[in-house]
Amino acid sequence: MTINFAHRGSLTEAPENTIPAFQKAIDHGAKAIELDVQLTKDNKLIICHDHKISRFNKDVSGLIKDFTLEEIKQIDVGSSFSDAFTGTTLATLDEVLELCPKDLLLNIEIKNIPVIYDDIEYLLLQCLSDHQRMEHVIISSFDHVALQKVQEITPSMPLGMLFYYRILNAWDYAKNSGLNITSIHPNNVYTNRDFVKNCKASGYQVYPYTVNTLERYEELVDYGVDGVFSNVPEIFTSV
């Protein structure tokens, strides 16, 4: 059975990484959701992909890290998507964990590049623990040092190793990293049958991103991937 992740929630139907987007994914029957976590100026866990807010509100300049949570909660990120979502704000991780059923698989990506957030790993794991949500979670990142820190704090936490560019033998890199990697998350552009075969032979699940056509999805499933990250409900609700 493939496990397909609603990428930033159902982002074609509601502003990405907001409660409405996550709720719509849940309403569709998604079995897994991907979201991105950063830190505010006052070290609160906020869900946002970009380090800047300007894509969601052109009147706001600055980075996530420059705003307190209270300030971020005053920023409308919904009206740029649709008037129907005017007043929608970015979600906190606390809010997402309260919303999502505990059997829903969450892939939480630490957005640690180019901004490096000190102690985000500890704060993330503490938040998960506070919500009794240490299970049905994968923590992923392009910042593999962040994954190392997660492992040092909670060795049992499943880790997903993200790759954007092609590297030689990513599966060997993962194995030699010293990390207890559960899954490899490659850019779907270069994910082919041999890549999947070698990753799985090394004991890793494979979840390519971001897969938005049924044709490509079916091709990847034929290669043997364990699931994908997708913006398309027809894909992220497929099994």
Do residues 18 and 78 lie in contact, with contact meaning Cβ atoms separated by under 8 Å?
A: yes
pLDDT at 35 over 80: yes
Q: How many CB atoms lie within 10 A of CB 20?
A: 19
49 is a catalytic site residue: yes
The active-site residue, picked from 28, 49, 51, 185, is 49
136 carries an active-site annotation = no
The reported pLDDT for the residue numbered 239 is 75
Task: For residue range 89-137, list pLDDT tens digits in order.
Answer: 999 999 999 999 999 999 999 999 889 999 999 999 999 999 999 999 9
Identify the residue whose tokens are 């397909």.
Answer: 4
Instruction: Write down all domains in the chain, each with its CATH number in brackets.
Output: 5-37+94-236 (3.20.20.190)
- Find residue 109's DSSP bridge partners: 36, 140
| Model pTM above 0.85 | yes
**Structure letter (DSSP) for residue 158:** -
pLDDT value at residue 219: 98
Confidence (pLDDT) at 1? 84
Residue 14 has pLDDT above 90, yes or no: yes
Q: Please give the average per-residue pLDDT across 31-50, as a whole number.
A: 98
Provide the H-helix boundaries in 40-114.
Answer: 69-72, 93-99
Where residue 40 falls (left for φ over 0; alpha for ψ -120 to 50; beta otherwise) is beta
> Does the pLDDT value for residue 44 go beyond 90?
yes
